[in-house]
Structure 1
Amino acid sequence: MSARAAESPDASVGRKALGLVELDRLYPGLVPSFVVLPVERLVENWLELKAGAEALVAEFCEGAVDDDATDDVAYGARETRLVASIALDDTVVAEALSSAAGWSSVSVRTSALAEDGAEHSFAGQYVTTLDVPVQPQPVRDAIRASVASLFSARVAAYARARGIEALELGGSVVVQQMFVGTTSGVLFSENGRGELTLAWSRSARNTTVEGENALELRVSKVADRPANLPAPERLLDIAVESETRLDRPVDIEWAARGTRLALLQLRPQTTVALDYELAWDCTNIAENYPGITLPLTYSFIRGLYSRVYPAFFRKLGVAQTVLDAKQQVFRNTLGYLGGHVYYQIDNWYEMVRMIPGPSSNQAFFSAMLQPQRTPGEAPRRRLGLKGAVTMAPLVGRLGWLLLRSNSMSKGFSRTFQKRLNRFESIDWASLQADAILSTLETMRGELLTLWATPVFNDLRVMIFHGLLKTYSFGPEQHADYLGYLHGLSDRASIAPLTALGALGNRLRDRHGSDATADSILSSPDWTATRLDIDDYLARFGGRAPDELQLENPRLADDHASLLALALGTDPEGRPPVDATARSIRGRLGTRFIGRNTRQAIDWRERFRFNRAQVYGLARTAYLALGRRLVEAQLLDAADDVFWLTEQELDEAVFGHAWSSDPRAVVARRRDEFTTFEARSLARRVVGSGLIAPARLRDDEQRTAAGMAAGMGVSPGVLTAEAIVVHEFDPTVDVRGKILVTSHIDPGWTLLFVQAAGVVTERGNALSHVAIIARELGMPAVVAAMGAVDALRTGQLITINGTTGDIDAAL
């Protein structure tokens, strides 16, 4: 029977055949000519064959037939007897050959009743024979193979695996003119992300259906179509039209040769991947946001990140249309899991791919960030002529900006300080509640418009540090690599430490060597001492332990802490350290690369302090707002404001809240965060499911001893007593000991530099602790996850700041 001659084939021919008829009606000229041969006409003994085959499949699905047995009652033996009994109707086969006259070759495939269903597709389970010569015996053999596959062991196993108890056998065999394409594949109209997915191979043989390796391309349904599609764009339009017409996703088998498109099959897509996966990594960001971070801080930084990075890419010259398409990426650079701040790591790699230049940018980023897992080697960019023409100006602009990086950073510092001074002069306590939020927004706008420069400097660090680590020195030259990171030209990061030591000596001279913070605060000389304290705070008061968490007090808030830190300094000071850069022979260009790396790190340290200044201002402003809420009897204490989000504060002040009871929100969150405090999360966490964050699992490797392998970041071997510090305590005496703690941010520096060595659970070679340790000649090991639990105070340990080894005497 010719499908074109049939008035309306009924469902007995199977969905595949019906689908071909419908495709041919809707898209004439795109479906190669075909003939549909219903099995009840094609097989003379069909009723007998059908009864025996259905019984065999049903018994197999029930488990009554052993598919592994070799005797004559096994599935294979009974299947062989049924296949041998197939009697094809010569007249029907002749009709098919007559319809195929003039065709050089055909494909022969089944259109089984069970095939292409809404729940089960049976894709790839039935026999398809390609490139069959239009000759009686080859066509007859191919038809017999298709009929036999209706009840094959492969089909029966597919059914049993899906809980199908029985199959109704029937349908037809489709003989179709062979279309020889240069590409062929399958298109799925929905992947759960609003995208079409094309899986294809560069051959006429559609290997993707057979489960073999295939190339893959995902295309947004709403964005402009990409160039260099593997098939004519009309294929994508047909998929969308078919999905709309059938009111469900579809998959289409296709082949193409140049601009010619052939539609070979259309069926309902049986599954849509509604589960999704997200990965979060805090290896780097935990240095700035350790432990529990309160909601106001998280909402504050999330807003900053979502605004700063688009400005950075605009500075690089990335088109606004591209930035608009990536807004979801910019809004989700961070994650907030159980009160902990993470990077949503895949979105950071997505941003890295937006940076003009080679695919090695991804490796450079990994070398700088040191995440727990990397996405593997980045595919080499294949731009083509059009892509190269588009990319060339961006690469040129990036090079020009790199050459101007130092002058841009100097310009940022001048402008930033002028604007910062204006906001520091504000008396936040005298502002009305709405004016506090409005002024904060103005501050964000004026200061964040500048922040593309510090982010660009981070890119400079990434590029030159990546070159230093991956080009100049191999893994076996780690000590030489660390040597090139030593010797910063601007020792601004050391200045607070030098000044603290000088302050300590003045305090001891004035109040005696046995003075304490409490005795100085109650001393008659406190007024004179206060001048020294205020002078220090005027220069370095923005520093504080965990200073990027708005809820944490600053040095200026607690004179006792600053006095304790100053009194804890060594009166003799640390031994002088050679501050010059190491001159180590490396590959061609290593000195240039090393100099640029150190310059970029210098600027990065200064920008870190500028960032702390902004956060300190924000803390002051939010505390002023908290006092307004207390006065309005909406909160119990001013610092309760840190338990609310920016949006909740905006709603309360400007009248957008559905429920105006901030006090209840704070109480509920305090209870929730109590459970967060007791929970330990890994450095890398993965979530998957219908709502990914609802099902989290740790994705981190540790040694049998409970500690992750450490990373040496400051050379030197040291044996000393360990002192394990769980939280910042300015009174703890770490002198001559190896400080072991979970993290060290810039605010911790005032404490840890009194130690002889340091071990942290977080960090990398570019962390603040690593930079300061190298400049002070202090052995340091970072990223030793689990060290706080595995080591104990008083234990004698040996650390190697080059290899990262930690040996503990039991």
Structure 2
Amino acid sequence: MSALTTVSDSSMGSKAFGLVELDRLYPGLVPSFIVLPVEDLVENWHDLRAAAHTLVAEYCAGTVDDAAYAERSARLVASLSIAGDVVEAALASCGGWGSVSVRTSALAEDGVEHSFAGQYETSLDVPTESRPVRDAIGASVASLFSARVAAYARARRMSSLEIGGSVVVQQMFVGTTSGVLFSENGRGELTLAWSRSARNTTVEGENAHELRASKVSDWPSGLPAPARLLDIAVDSEARLRRPVDIEWAARGSQLALLQVRPQTTVALDYELAWDCTNIAENYPGITLPLTYSFIRGLYSRVYPAFFRKLGVNQKVLDAKQQVFRNTLGYLGGHVYYQIDNWYEMVRLIPGPSSNQAFFSAMLQPQRTPGDAPRRRLGLRGALTMAPLVGRLGVLLLRSNSMSKTFSRTFQKRLKRFEAVDWNTLHADAILSTLETMRAELLTLWATPVFNDLRVMIFHGLLKTYSFSAEQHADYLGYLHGLSDRASIAPLTALGVLGNRLRERHGEAATADGILSSPDWMATRVLVDEYLARFGGRAPDELQLENPRLADDYASLLALALGTDPEGRPPVDASARSITGRFGTRFIGRNTRQAIDWRERFRFNRAQVYGLARAAYLALGQRLVDAELLETANDVFWLTEQELDEAVFGHAWSSDPRSTVARRRAEFGTFEQRSLARRVVGSGLIAPAALRDDEQRSASGMAAGMGVSPGVLTAEAIVVHAFDPTIDVRGKILVTSHIDPGWTLLFVQAAGVVTERGNALSHVAIIARELAMPAVVAAMGAVDTLSTGQVITINGTTGDIDAAL
């Protein structure tokens, strides 16, 4: 039962009033307390208050410095005269309490604008004896005008301070857990911070545990306090019509409410981080709106299907829909990973916290989130996790057979869609057929994503368990030697085509000469044979707006004629046999098998994108015929949603031409801007205020990563855009990125330096299989190095030596 000295609501202070309200609403949860008005406790209060008020006002105005304030406030404290009879009367009401806490309930404290949290004096575990309680009360009263409180007021540009209120004497609740709860963090979540401590204090700092709970979902299990605490927080927020801060303690199922106050602010600023280290290999430079909307839709569908395959509960997946919808970012026409959401997805993968480190080792982002917290499962959590871990293990064992089944089913379904003549379909039928294609092919795509998980796990083990950082060359050696060299097949076949073209048209043949030759129709049979096998491959092939090889015979002919007539000397395809830690050979074999499949699945993905490009071009032509677009290629400036609205009658505007014109102008400015590999946005709308977050060397070039061993000194050739006519033979190709389509050009070079990529990038895989020295992730290389400059690259260390 609470005892309360007669005092008005307005003079007791917010903290005391909050306790009174808590006790009225939740009887039995608030430890007994007494509210003692300061004007009753201090015999000379009126004179003391007036002097303290003047001193604080002068300090806030800047007419009193710190030293003078300390001297004058010390004299005021010395003049304090505590009314002994009031203290004794309070002690008489504390019978059986054992010990008490003594704290202020200042008039200025716990306000909506200024909380003064932690500024006033609180005494804990005070024995219920006259002298200790009196001293604690005196310390609380003196803190009403302490230098710390005055400095807090001046820092917040307050001109004066309302001095007064009450002192709360409360029975100590000896709990096993204590903490604070904030009812809103700006994300519709409650935030609990606590420590395993009997001291009922606000928990702050590194030793605190933290848990967040959505206010629109069922409360999570494993709470540090009875779930009723969360209900009370939501009720208090609704009653006060503002977020609240509750101090609490618990012992088993027993809950104690120690105070409630308004949160002074809810931080409405938020931060998002984007990283393009890996994805820029597939979407370099400017990517047009249709491609971005297409891939965003794919990602948001594929990853929930993947996690369902792993056995993750649908309820968990439903709660993560915002994560799945926001795996990507579109900044100034560039595609990025919204990197924190990828780590959020990694945390859904059953198994150890090392999954995060493995993911970082595969992706090589500019910054990592630090060590993942260890999972404290408990018995219930372990029982829930065990079947998921077991399922993951079974799927890993079946990975090869699953991939083979995918390939057979994919090719069977793909042939049906390759037979579609998009030019004979109505506009609405084009979109409907595209949706059917997505549904039929994407239902299969959980298998390629699972193979990526296999790459992540075994590559992570290879890099972090089998070899140390000093054994980087040995680690790269274990990545070399793919069992299925499907990724090399287009390059080998291109060399064969080049030799056949030279045999038929002479050593000095050119692409234009062959196209104008009387023998072109016969030669075309050879070219079409190549395209039938590898026509889905093209530079920047995952950008729908880019032509395929089949769209431009001249480019393919130039690439074939640019191959070395003698071809590259054969390279030993077997992996290096290096004695590592126990299990290294098994780990290495699984890593290479998973990379094999990953390369094949990349080609399958390119095939899907090629079909989508043909479909959208056909739709673009319908819009041209309807006088809604100028050219069929303008379709790539619109989004999937805008096309759907135009075709099915949901659009607010019936003039897509104006949208295309506006975007062309906007993207013209995007072309002039170079974004870093990692970009951070923060503010009320995070993407509206972006800043680069990337380290560069003094020369402006980031440190490179060696991904294919070998030291090479040769002339550099800097290439800004894919050009099939460039002669790179015997040179070190320097470019911003190399995707699978680019390999048709770079395979002719002696070595390669790219600004993007990592050890598992396509450029790294091909370079290792061809024994070509390669350095990736050398940001700034294109601007720093120049064509004709002789440079030396080290494909193991990543060093680039040049006369800069």
Q: TM-score range by the shorter chain?
A: over 0.9
- 2:556 aligned residue: 562
- What letter matches 1:267 in structure 2? R
The match for 1:360 among 340, 354, 376 is 354
Native 8 Å contact 2:91 2:130 kept in 1: yes
- 1:734 aligned residue: 728
C-alpha deviation, 1:103, in angstroms: 1.5
C-alpha deviation, 1:161, in angstroms: 0.5
Determine whether 1:483 maps to 2:482.
no
Q: How does 1:163-562 map to 2 (within 5 A)?
A: 163-208=157-202, 213-562=207-556
- Cα distance in 1 for partners of 2:205, 2:681 equals 28
C-alpha deviation, 1:257, in angstroms: 1.1
Secondary structure of the 2:697 match is coil
- 1:575 aligned residue: 569
Secondary structure of the 1:185 match is strand
Secondary structure of the 1:354 match is coil
- Cα distance in 2 for partners of 1:764, 1:10 equals 65
Over the aligned positions, Cα root-mean-square deviation in angstroms equals: 1.1
Q: Identify if the C-alpha distance between structure 1 residues 211 and 800 changes in structure 2 by more than 3 Å, giving closer, same or farther.
A: closer
- 1:646 aligned residue: 640
- Cα distance in 2 for partners of 1:167, 1:549 equals 63
Q: Identify if the C-alpha distance between structure 1 residues 153 and 265 changes in structure 2 by more than 3 Å, giving closer, same or farther.
A: same
C-alpha deviation, 1:9, in angstroms: 3.2
C-alpha deviation, 1:101, in angstroms: 2.0
- 2:145 aligned residue: 151
- 1:10 aligned residue: 9
Native 8 Å contact 1:9 1:18 kept in 2: no
C-alpha deviation, 1:208, in angstroms: 3.4
- Cα distance in 1 for partners of 2:399, 2:208 equals 44
- 1:30 aligned residue: 29
Native 8 Å contact 2:4 2:34 kept in 1: no
Native 8 Å contact 2:2 2:31 kept in 1: no
- Cα distance in 1 for partners of 2:547, 2:538 equals 7
Native 8 Å contact 1:4 1:21 kept in 2: no
Secondary structure of the 1:460 match is helix
Native 8 Å contact 2:754 2:778 kept in 1: yes
Native 8 Å contact 1:60 1:66 kept in 2: yes
Which string of whole-angstrom CA distances, capped at 9 and with x for unpartnered residues, describes residues 268-297 of structure 1? Answer: 110101111100000000000000000000
- Cα distance in 2 for partners of 1:486, 1:786 equals 28
- Cα distance in 2 for partners of 1:13, 1:554 equals 77
Native 8 Å contact 2:713 2:792 kept in 1: yes
C-alpha deviation, 1:93, in angstroms: 1.1
- What letter matches 1:319 in structure 2? N
- Cα distance in 2 for partners of 1:345, 1:465 equals 20
C-alpha deviation, 1:64, in angstroms: 1.1
Determine whether 1:626 maps to 2:620.
yes
Which string of whole-angstrom CA distances, capped at 9 and with x for unpartnered residues, describes residues 691-739 of structure 1? Answer: 0000100000000011110000000000000000000000000000000
Q: How does 1:712-727 map to 2 (within 5 A)?
A: 712-727=706-721
- What letter matches 2:460 in structure 1? G
- What letter matches 1:114 in structure 2? A
- What letter matches 1:26 in structure 2? L
- Cα distance in 2 for partners of 1:210, 1:367 equals 33
Native 8 Å contact 1:473 1:480 kept in 2: yes
- What letter matches 1:662 in structure 2? P
C-alpha deviation, 1:95, in angstroms: 1.0
Consecutive unaligned residues of structure 2, counting only runs of 5 or more, are none
- Cα distance in 2 for partners of 1:206, 1:289 equals 54
- Cα distance in 1 for partners of 2:200, 2:636 equals 59
- Cα distance in 1 for partners of 2:147, 2:758 equals 56
Q: How does 1:587-626 map to 2 (within 5 A)?
A: 587-626=581-620
Native 8 Å contact 2:720 2:736 kept in 1: yes
The match for 1:799 among 783, 793, 798 is 793
The match for 1:692 among 686, 710, 731 is 686
- Cα distance in 2 for partners of 1:217, 1:420 equals 47
- What letter matches 1:571 in structure 2? P
Q: Identify if the C-alpha distance between structure 1 residues 94 and 727 changes in structure 2 by more than 3 Å, giving closer, same or farther.
A: same
Secondary structure of the 2:116 match is coil
Determine whether 1:40 maps to 2:39.
yes
C-alpha deviation, 1:156, in angstroms: 0.3
- 1:763 aligned residue: 757
- Cα distance in 1 for partners of 2:753, 2:508 equals 30
- 2:58 aligned residue: 59
Native 8 Å contact 2:480 2:575 kept in 1: yes
C-alpha deviation, 1:8, in angstroms: 6.9
C-alpha deviation, 1:752, in angstroms: 0.1
Native 8 Å contact 1:276 1:688 kept in 2: yes
- What letter matches 2:778 in structure 1? A
C-alpha deviation, 1:660, in angstroms: 1.1
Native 8 Å contact 2:775 2:794 kept in 1: yes
Which string of whole-angstrom CA distances, capped at 9 and with x for unpartnered residues, describes residues 287-332 of structure 1? Answer: 0000000000000000000000011011111111111111111000
C-alpha deviation, 1:3, in angstroms: 6.1
Native 8 Å contact 1:201 1:207 kept in 2: no
- Cα distance in 2 for partners of 1:181, 1:482 equals 55
- Cα distance in 1 for partners of 2:458, 2:558 equals 40
- Cα distance in 1 for partners of 2:348, 2:200 equals 33
Size of the aligned set, in residue pairs, is: 804
The percentage of aligned residue pairs carrying the same residue is 85
C-alpha deviation, 1:255, in angstroms: 1.1
C-alpha deviation, 1:351, in angstroms: 0.5
The match for 2:110 among 99, 108, 116 is 116
- Cα distance in 2 for partners of 1:474, 1:321 equals 40
Secondary structure of the 1:807 match is strand
TM-score in terms of structure 1 length: 0.98
- What letter matches 2:64 in structure 1? V
- What letter matches 1:719 in structure 2? T
